[in-house]
Every structure is written in structure tokens, then in C-alpha cells.
């Protein structure tokens, strides 16, 4: 429900339900709505907008799915991880973002027809870990916390 964060925000406002109503972010729906989150700046922009319009505190879960349709296709068609138009590379930037570290991710992929296989679950964990590692590697350089600064040269 809700094709962008503005629509979701309107629904939440109309419900006037306070904290009892949360939202779920589905990576396939986001992609099908035309949103690119496939790089650090893009992923950051998506989460900034979510925070601004809805509030990250309201985000209760992520549905982690690849997409059987191209970005912007406006259709709800999930695909297995590694077999869709989004790809693990892009998914990792979003689902590994520090803002989502405490948000549970749910796989809603078809598997071999009966839901996620053990292989898909393992792949999902790997995608999240990969994303978290990328963000962790960027942090010292981008945010400069504390006294230890990342100096060039280390690969």
C-alpha cells in the first residue's frame, strides 16, 4: 500500500493512529515505483526521505526481495535474490545501511515455488552483511568520528 513515501505519509495522517501503525519497506515495491537505491548516495537519500516524511521509528520491517520487472515498472513481481533486475550489489547498499541495523528483514521470494529456500536465506544474510561491511568501511571517511581518521592507502 502506498506507491511513494508521500502516499504513505498521507495514509498515516488520515489514520491518526499514533505509534500503533508502522510501515514496511519492500525493496521490490520501491524499485518498481522507480526508486533507485543502488549506491550509497541513493540509499542514503531514500532513508533521508523516509525519515523526513514518515520517521524511521515507524519503520517496522523490510521486505527483502529482488524484482522480476524493471525499475519503474509499477508492478508487484518478486524475484529470488540473484535472479532479478535489482541484484545483490544494489540491495546491499540499502539493507546494510546503519539506519536499518535494528529493523528485521523478511524474505518474500518465490524460491522454487514454495517460498524462500535455505539457499535464499543464506544469500539474504550475505547481502545484509556485505552492505553492513560497505557502510562500516565508509564511516570513518565520511563521518570522521572521534580521533582516528582514515588515511589513504589502506585498501
**Site for Zn ion, rule CB under 5 A:** 76
Grid cell locating 6 = 508521500
Q: Which residue lies nearest Zn ion, judged by its C-beta? A: 76
Q: Which is nearer to Zn ion, 77 or 134 (CB)?
A: 77
Q: Which is nearer to Zn ion, 79 or 99 (CB)?
A: 79
The least distance separating Zn ion from the CB of residue 28, rounded to whole angstroms, comes to 5
Burial class (CB in 10 A: 0-12, 13-18, 19+), 97: buried
Helix axes 118-143, 40-53, angle to 10 degrees: 90
The least distance separating Zn ion from the CB of residue 8, rounded to whole angstroms, comes to 15
Q: Which is nearer to Zn ion, 41 or 76 (CB)?
A: 76
Q: Rounded distance, CA 83 to CA 46, Å?
A: 23
Q: Which is nearer to Zn ion, 13 or 114 (CB)?
A: 114
The least distance separating Zn ion from the CB of residue 149, rounded to whole angstroms, comes to 43
Length of the chain: 155
Residue 132 has φ and ψ, to the nearest 5°, of: -65, -40
The least distance separating Zn ion from the CB of residue 74, rounded to whole angstroms, comes to 12
Amino acid at each position: 500500500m502506498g506507491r511513494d513515501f508521500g502516499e504513505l505519509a498521507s495514509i498515516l495522517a488520515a489514520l491518526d493512529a499514533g505509534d500503533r501503525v508502522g510501515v514496511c519497506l519492500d525493496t521490490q515495491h520501491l524499485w518498481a515505483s522507480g526508486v533507485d537505491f543502488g549506491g550509497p548516495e541513493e540509499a542514503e537519500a531514500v532513508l533521508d526521505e523516509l525519515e523526513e516524511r514518515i520517521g524511521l521509528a515507524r519503520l517496522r520491517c523490510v521486505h527483502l526481495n529482488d524484482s522480476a520487472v524493471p525499475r519503474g515498472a509499477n508492478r508487484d513481481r518478486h524475484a529470488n535474490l540473484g535472479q532479478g533486475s535489482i541484484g545483490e550489489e544494489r540491495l546491499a547498499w540499502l539493507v546494510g545501511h546503519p539506519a536499518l541495523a535494528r529493523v528485521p528483514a523478511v524474505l518474500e521470494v518465490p524460491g522454487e515455488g514454495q517460498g524462500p529456500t535455505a539457499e535464499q536465506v543464506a544469500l539474504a544474510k550475505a547481502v545484509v552483511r556485505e552492505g553492513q561491511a560497505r557502510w562500516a568501511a565508509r564511516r570513518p571517511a565520511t563521518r570522521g568520528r572521534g580521533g582516528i581518521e582514515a588515511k589513504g592507502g589502506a585498501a
